[in-house]
Structure 1
Amino acid sequence: MKLRFGYVSNALALYEASPARTMTFASWSKLSKEEQEAKLHTITERNLSSTLRALHYNIAHEIELYRMSSSIVPLATHPEAKWEYIHPFKDLFAEIGKLVKKHGLRVSFHPNQFTLFTSPKQHVTENAIGDLDYHVTMLEAMGLDNRAIANIHIGGAYGDKKATLKRFYVNFDTIPDQIRSHVTLENDDKTYTAKETLEACERTGVPFIFDYHHHMANPGDGLPEDFLLRVHETWKSRGQQPKFHLSSPKSEKAYRSHADYVDSEFALPFINMLKEYGEDADIMIEAKKKDLAALKLVEDLSAVRGVKRLTGGSIQWK
């Protein structure tokens, strides 16, 4: 079984390379029209350049999974500040896509917690579609197909989970097909369990990303015996091996919070579950130390008997 590991957004080993610089609407509002345009262009160009730096770093360190920042373009979806952010940077977007395709990288976005389809308010659903459209528009500008994803959670329960799930399916069906083809769903740490989210993925036809830390915080009544088989089935339409999320608790008291690094002892039961199933998988590390945490976990796991480190970011588990 081959496991590949990746990280989220900011390569901490690089100097001043955040791809998520932004500005508030309040700050933007105080500027003249010319200053607004100049500021938005400066920040976006720097974020795209930092994304490119991270990709080159990943290639050098053989890290094949990478989640790009959702904050690349500041105020992209704000109703009063929407602006044309693709054409001025089409060459940078294209360069990112060229690198991704040339080196076979697996990239993704993870829109924020407000991008959900459970709300009874129509404008929330419309805003969620708008936010997904922003992410997919960037992926298309990079020339990437639906193997590049935008991953979201189901959302809240609004006091009645059964009724809310019915509303979720109705709202989810309003997502345009081209956008929906990039969407995946992930279980969360408070409301929708892995079993419930898997069932939602099977019903909607989108892939399921299993977050082990979230599952440990919100296990519900546990996992079905054929869980991993069903997870793999949800990815077949995309022609990809499954992707998982992994982090470990900051502390017993702050169990849902992510630690700086991933505790290999916490991770091993999950890794062993994958090993028992026996298929290759990709694992996104969601630790505070990002790239440093991913590389450290690969190093830690490679010290386990029967594990061979294949590259900077991958291992073979015999």
Structure 2
Amino acid sequence: MRLGFAVKVLGGGGLPSHDTRRWQSEPSLGVSLDRLAAILRYAAENAIDMYRMPTGLAPYASHPDLPRFRDQPARFAERLAEVGALARELDVRLSSHPGQYTVLNSEDAHVQALAVEELEVQAELLDFMGLGDEAVVVLHVGGGAGGHAAALDRFCAGFERLSEAARARLVIENDDRTFGLRDVLALSERVGRPVVWDVLHHHCHDPDRIPDREALQLALATWPAGVTPKMHHSTPKTALEEQARKVGRRVERRLVLPQLRAHADMVDPIGFEHFVCATAAGLDVDVMLEAKGKDLALLGLRDPLAARGVVLPGAVDIES
């Protein structure tokens, strides 16, 4: 079981994830790749085996009004190949996960076209890096307008607009509101692409009441032989939040309960121990940790679990 984190490096004083300058300053994929190389070395030094790259690695490459940025993957093909070779040398699995505005099943043709372009860019980056089939682009189904059947049909129509290269990188994730595991399993059969199971989303939205281990096994079965499946794990936020609002000259404050779907800063080691020893016991799966503490959340799991005899990748077995 390889463990990974997403985008930001908080440990070691922090590392920038990509070139975040605005378009007027001519941000560059070349700058982003230098930063990615530094993150890969940091990951290897800390025995971290997976990393989710920022969607904006190639700045503005999919922006419809800034076409001059679109050729960045091809323009930096040589540098992409070098960084891809570094990832393979260090054995760090890479992926990307476009956000909520990449909606392949949108009713709006323009929004769907933007999603297609974004997915093409993400696939080009992974292809130019020379990465194997484990390097995937994770996507949610999208909106549920018109009902589940119509929404899934629109996803399939959007999928057909992708190039073969982009289709070959795409994997589908269950979400926390609309499309549960059964939905994405059915969609997986239609488009022939694997399912990434998100355990917290499953706990938020599971109308079929599928037990965790069964859910994980169903998702893993969608992956082709020879490709290690991946999934997402996170702990729900439990801390109260204080909200303030101005009423006249006064400021009213109140405590607000967190939503179950909100990610905590860290990963609960007790819950993760149960996941490792029960839900995923004996199963071959890589786990992307989605915590606001990023790499610190991953590193912070090792000692508490090692003390209980559960040795995670990169940890020292204190009983040996």
| Percentage identity across paired residues of the two chains | 32
Evaluate the alpha carbon distance shift between residue 156 and residue 194 of structure 1 in structure 2; reply closer, same or farther with a 3 A threshold.
Answer: same
| Shift of residue 23, structure 1, vs aligned partner | 3.9
For 1:54 and 1:8, the matched residues in 2 are separated by 11
| Contact persistence 2:139–2:173 (CA under 8 A) | yes
Greater RCO, 1 or 2 (C-alpha within 8 Å, sep 6+): 1
Aligned match of 1:22: 20
Stretches of structure 1 that go unaligned for 5 or more consecutive residues are 29-35
For 1:58 and 1:94, the matched residues in 2 are separated by 19
For 1:168 and 1:86, the matched residues in 2 are separated by 26
177-186 or 69-78, larger mean C-alpha shift: 69-78
Task: Provide the TM-score with structure 2 as the length reference.
Answer: 0.84
For 2:307 and 2:184, the matched residues in 1 are separated by 34
| Shift of residue 91, structure 1, vs aligned partner | 3.8
For 1:203 and 1:273, the matched residues in 2 are separated by 31
Match runs of 1:71-220 below 5 Å: 71-82=56-67, 83=69, 84-220=71-207
Determine which of 274, 282, 285 is the counterpart of 1:281. Answer: 285
| Shift of residue 131, structure 1, vs aligned partner | 0.2
Determine which of 306, 311, 317 is the counterpart of 1:308. Answer: 311
Task: Provide the TM-score with structure 1 as the length reference.
Answer: 0.85
Evaluate the alpha carbon distance shift between residue 71 and residue 15 of structure 1 in structure 2; reply closer, same or farther with a 3 A threshold.
Answer: farther
1:181 match: secondary structure: helix
Letter in 2 for 1:288: K
Evaluate the alpha carbon distance shift between residue 203 and residue 270 of structure 1 in structure 2; reply closer, same or farther with a 3 A threshold.
Answer: farther
Evaluate the alpha carbon distance shift between residue 283 and residue 310 of structure 1 in structure 2; reply closer, same or farther with a 3 A threshold.
Answer: closer
For 1:54 and 1:128, the matched residues in 2 are separated by 27
Query: Given the alignment of the two structures, is residue 54 of structure 1 paired with residue 39 of structure 2, yes or no?
Result: yes
1:124 match: secondary structure: helix
| Shift of residue 184, structure 1, vs aligned partner | 0.4
| Shift of residue 16, structure 1, vs aligned partner | 5.2
Evaluate the alpha carbon distance shift between residue 130 and residue 215 of structure 1 in structure 2; reply closer, same or farther with a 3 A threshold.
Answer: same
Query: Given the alignment of the two structures, is residue 257 of structure 1 paired with residue 244 of structure 2, yes or no?
Result: no
Evaluate the alpha carbon distance shift between residue 18 and residue 173 of structure 1 in structure 2; reply closer, same or farther with a 3 A threshold.
Answer: same
Determine which of 37, 40, 52 is the counterpart of 2:27. Answer: 40
For 1:87 and 1:257, the matched residues in 2 are separated by 37
Query: Given the alignment of the two structures, is residue 66 of structure 1 paired with residue 70 of structure 2, yes or no?
Result: no
CA deviations 1:138-188 (Å, max 9, x no partner) are 112212233211110000101522222222222222222111000001111
179-188 or 249-258, larger mean C-alpha shift: 249-258
Aligned CA-pair RMSD:
2.3
2:102 match: secondary structure: coil
For 1:19 and 1:4, the matched residues in 2 are separated by 21
Determine which of 289, 298, 304 is the counterpart of 1:294. Answer: 298
| Contact persistence 1:22–1:73 (CA under 8 A) | no
Letter in 2 for 1:295: L
Evaluate the alpha carbon distance shift between residue 60 and residue 309 of structure 1 in structure 2; reply closer, same or farther with a 3 A threshold.
Answer: same
Q: What number of residue pairs does the alignment pair up?
A: 296
| Shift of residue 200, structure 1, vs aligned partner | 1.4
| Contact persistence 1:10–1:54 (CA under 8 A) | no
Determine which of 269, 275, 286 is the counterpart of 1:270. Answer: 275
Letter in 2 for 1:46: V
1:118 match: secondary structure: coil
Letter in 1 for 2:165: Q
For 2:163 and 2:30, the matched residues in 1 are separated by 29
Structure 1 runs, 4 residues or longer, greater than 6 Å off? none
Letter in 1 for 2:136: I
| Contact persistence 2:18–2:36 (CA under 8 A) | no
For 2:27 and 2:312, the matched residues in 1 are separated by 42
| Contact persistence 2:18–2:33 (CA under 8 A) | no
CA deviations 1:40-81 (Å, max 9, x no partner) are 23xx33322111111001111111111111111221111221
Determine which of 10, 13, 17 is the counterpart of 1:12. Answer: 10
1:50 match: secondary structure: helix
| Contact persistence 2:120–2:162 (CA under 8 A) | no
Letter in 2 for 1:13: G
For 1:17 and 1:148, the matched residues in 2 are separated by 22
